[in-house]
């Protein structure tokens, strides 16, 4: 009987484990989880903290009983502290401090990512929180019960979602972002729209703000630095970015690559025999750039984990690459992107043109029509390279960016978007979908250039 060891119980780990069991119900799969919360939706944490998802148990994609019923052996509150790739033995450390040796035939490393703690003086002070695990969530949730004001350091996805969540709870929020606009994964023009939305909902959003110090004064925390006046809050949330968790792999001599992530080929095989890896701890093949990158996304982790689980049993499947397709809801806005932004396309050696276009999400004569702003990026030879969209979250922004993503996956030109047979009814779209209108606007901009 094949013994597959999976280290990590989030998106990549659970996908690898379940795929292996799907292919071979006789395979022995042990999934090692560092905490007590296997297969929980980390992406759902802001909605639990906002109160919109009142019961944290609902964040579990599957209960422990459901996971074990699928035939997996769960080892909760257990960490893999050593991987001997030559003898194919992992050393596991339980929550009572006892070590044990765990032999394996194949292992999938799915250790995920960890929050980056920027060099801020006082970041370890009481009342300063990161947000990445369920334990982080419970700690912050307890603090929020007696909180009336909060300072968020970081204007990325989690920072924006938490600004929304805390405002929903009636907590006053100041958000500090080092870049010229929030949400640096989209162009500044769209980031500024998001910033205005934050301010319209009462968030004090300060950009070009470099945080240097956090000091406790009486019962509040004072945050200071460059580019902004000192601000105070009952709690400070630091959510600037993440880095791949590769300590176990590095100690085992496994090769690292882009941004210190585990180097894998497209079959998710590492440099060590018998060791595959997937998820936020690994490099990601970029479908447009055709080279490794680092893009920690839940959707990507699920795909990579599934491939790792299949290939651990002798499969030959390859990861087809990521486009970095993402969407986030911030108050009443949805902000989405896929592919390359203009500056990213330039850096990659393309000759890009980016055109911005505004369209109604459906026919204006039907009530509730909303404007959306679309930025389309293509190479001047006509190849589609990327798109970004901002609009009311009820206006199917996610659907539209998915159309762009499917076109990018297929290698379509910008002009070919007009040939797609997309759905239409007045309450939901127009005879020419906004994606197609944006594509036609891009082509006209190219002709006028």
> What is the pLDDT of the chain when averaged over all its residues?
95
Q: In this predicted structure, which of 56-60, 101-105, 258-262 has the lowest mean pLDDT?
A: 56-60
- Kindly report, residue by residue over 400-419, the tens digit of the pLDDT: 999 999 999 999 999 999 99
> Would you list the domain boundaries of the chain?
3-41+59-114+243-311, 128-240, 326-448
Check whether 72 has a pLDDT greater than 90: yes
Instruction: Tell me which CATH code domain 128-240 carries.
Output: 3.50.50.60
Per-residue model confidence (pLDDT) at position 207: 96
Q: Are 108 and 7 in contact (CB under 8 A)?
A: yes
Check whether 98 has a pLDDT greater than 90: no
Q: Are 246 and 224 in contact (CB under 8 A)?
A: no
Per-residue model confidence (pLDDT) at position 96: 82
Q: In this predicted structure, which of 166-175, 216-225, 327-336 has the lowest mean pLDDT?
A: 216-225
- Kindly report, residue by residue over 269-298, the tens digit of the pLDDT: 999 999 999 999 999 999 999 999 999 999
- Kindly report, residue by residue over 354-363, the tens digit of the pLDDT: 999 999 999 9
Instruction: Tell me which CATH code domain 326-448 carries.
Output: 3.50.50.60
Instruction: Tell me which CATH code domain 3-41+59-114+243-311 carries.
Output: 3.50.50.60
Per-residue model confidence (pLDDT) at position 440: 98
Average pLDDT rounded to a whole number, residues 9-37: 95
Q: pLDDT grade, residue 217 (50/70/90)?
A: confident
> What is the rounded radius of gyration, in angstroms, for the C-alpha atoms of the chain?
23
- Kindly report, residue by residue over 381-403, the tens digit of the pLDDT: 999 999 999 999 988 999 999 99
Average pLDDT rounded to a whole number, residues 295-315: 97
Per-residue model confidence (pLDDT) at position 395: 87
Same fold, 3-41+59-114+243-311 and 128-240: yes
Check whether 218 has a pLDDT greater than 90: no
Check whether 1 has a pLDDT greater than 80: no
Per-residue model confidence (pLDDT) at position 431: 96
Average pLDDT rounded to a whole number, residues 171-194: 96
Per-residue model confidence (pLDDT) at position 362: 95
Three-state DSSP string of the chain: CCEEEEECCCHHHHHHHHHHHHHCCCCEEEEECCCCCCCECHHHHHHHHHCCCCCHHHHECCCHHHHHHCCCEEECCCEEEEEECCCCEEEEECCCCCEEEEECCEEEECCCEEECCCCCECCCCCCEECCCCHHHHHHHHHHHCCCCEEEEECCCHHHHHHHHHHHHCCCEEEEECCCCCCCCCCCHHHHHHHHHHHHHCCCEEECCCEEEEEEEECCEEEEEEECCCCEEECEEEECCCEEECCHHHHHCCCCECHHHCECCCCCCECCCCCEEECCCCECEEECCCCEEECCCCHHHHHHHHHHHHHHCCCCCCCCCCECCCEEEEECCEEEEEEECCHHHHHHCCCCEEEEEEEEECCCCCCCCCCEEEEEEEEECCCEEEEEEEEEEHHHCHHHHHHHHHHHHHCCCECHHHHHCCCCCCCCCCCCCCHHHHHHHHHHHHHHHC
Average pLDDT rounded to a whole number, residues 111-117: 95
**Other C-beta atoms lying within 10 Å of the C-beta of residue 185:** 16
Q: pLDDT grade, residue 95 (50/70/90)?
A: confident
Tokens 């203009």 belong to: 342
Closest by CA position to 254, among listed 277, 270, 266: 270
Q: Are 390 and 372 in contact (CB under 8 A)?
A: yes
- Cα four-point dihedral sign 404, 406, 408, 411: negative
Question: What CA–CA distance (Å, rounded) separates 177 from 13?
Answer: 33
Check whether 257 has a pLDDT greater than 80: yes
């Amino acid at each position: 009987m094949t013994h597959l060891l999976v280290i990590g119980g989030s998106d990549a780990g659970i996908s690898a484990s379940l795929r292996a069991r799907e292919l071979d119900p006789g395979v022995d799969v042990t999934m090692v989880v560092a905490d007590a919360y296997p297969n929980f939706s980390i992406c759902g944490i802001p909605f639990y903290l906002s109160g919109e998802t009142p019961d944290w148990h609902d964040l579990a994609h599957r209960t422990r009983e459901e996971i074990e019923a699928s035939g997996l052996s769960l080892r909760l509150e257990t960490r893999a502290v050593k991987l001997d790739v030559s003898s194919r033995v992992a050393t596991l450390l339980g929550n009572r401090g006892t070590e044990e040796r765990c032999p394996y035939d194949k292992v999938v490393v799915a250790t995920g990512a960890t929050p980056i703690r920027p060099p801020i003086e006082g970041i370890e002070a009481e009342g300063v929180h990161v947000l990445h695990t369920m334990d982080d969530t419970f700690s912050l949730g307890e603090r929020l019960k007696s909180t009336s004001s909060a300072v968020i350091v970081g204007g990325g996805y989690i920072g924006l979602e938490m600004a929304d969540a805390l405002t929903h709870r009636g907590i006053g929020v100041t958000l500090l972002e080092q870049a010229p606009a929030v949400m640096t994964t989209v162009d500044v023009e769209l980031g500024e729209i998001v910033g205005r939305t934050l301010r319209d909902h009462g968030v004090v959003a300060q950009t070009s703000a470099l945080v240097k110090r956090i000091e406790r004064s009486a019962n509040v925390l004072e945050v200071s630095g460059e580019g902004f006046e000192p601000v105070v809050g009952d709690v400070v949330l630091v959510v600037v970015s993440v880095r791949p968790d590769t300590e176990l792999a590095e100690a085992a001599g496994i090769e690292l690559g882009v941004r210190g992530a585990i180097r894998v080929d497209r079959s998710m095989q590492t440099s060590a025999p018998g060791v595959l890896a997937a998820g936020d701890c690994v490099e990601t093949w970029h479908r447009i750039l055709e080279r490794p990158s680092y893009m920690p996304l839940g959707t990507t982790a699920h795909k990579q984990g599934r491939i790792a689980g299949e290939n651990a049993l002798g499969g030959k499947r390859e990861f087809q690459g990521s486009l970095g397709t993402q969407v986030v809801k911030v108050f009443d806005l949805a902000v989405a992107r896929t592919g390359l932004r203009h500056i990213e396309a330039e850096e990659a050696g393309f000759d890009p043109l980016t055109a911005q276009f505004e369209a109604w999400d459906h026919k204006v004569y039907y009530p509730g029509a909303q404007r959306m702003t679309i930025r389309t990026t293509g190479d001047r030879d006509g190849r589609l390279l990327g798109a970004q969209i901002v609009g009311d979250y009820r206006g199917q922004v996610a659907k539209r960016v998915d159309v762009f993503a499917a076109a990018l996956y297929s290698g379509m030109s910008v002009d070919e978007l007009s040939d797609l047979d997309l759905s239409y009814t007045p309450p939901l779209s127009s005879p020419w979908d906004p994606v197609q209108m944006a594509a036609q606007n891009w082509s006209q901009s190219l002709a006028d250039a």
